[in-house]
Structure 1
Amino acid sequence: MLDIGSGTGRPVSHTLVEAGCEVTGIDGSSTMVELARQQVPGARFELQDVRSLQAADETFHGDDLLPSGQ
């Protein structure tokens, strides 16, 4: 699952990891990415602007995309 605008990783990424999903979170704030990495170690978090999203070696399908807060 791709958590766009993941912030601190809670509650979305955390909940998805707990449900057994493989999660990648992206956020434009280095502070939020560091907090997310600490709070949700079972997910991967990257510093990235969603407007220039690069998923180099991964493919996400429409059902894998989950904007935070939705």
Structure 2
Amino acid sequence: MTTLSLRLPDEVHARLVALAAAEHISLNAALVQAAEQWIARRAQEAVFTVAMDKVFEEDAALFRRLADT
């Protein structure tokens, strides 16, 4: 496990502390959850981008015809 220092604006820190307390979890647990969600969202975006690139590549002729109308 890695330990790191994190500089947060005071307002962000206060909001995180309040939200973690409301969820009955530690600030550390809240930050770990946030990092995991950020990673998952980026992975989903990458999968979506690859899929859309494939669609645009496979249907390029159709998109050109639609643009001409």
The alignment's TM-score, normalised by the length of structure 1, stands at 0.25
Greater relative contact order (CA < 8 Å, ≥ 6 in sequence): 1
Q: What TM-score do the two structures reach when normalised by structure 2?
A: 0.25
Which structure: greater helix fraction?
2
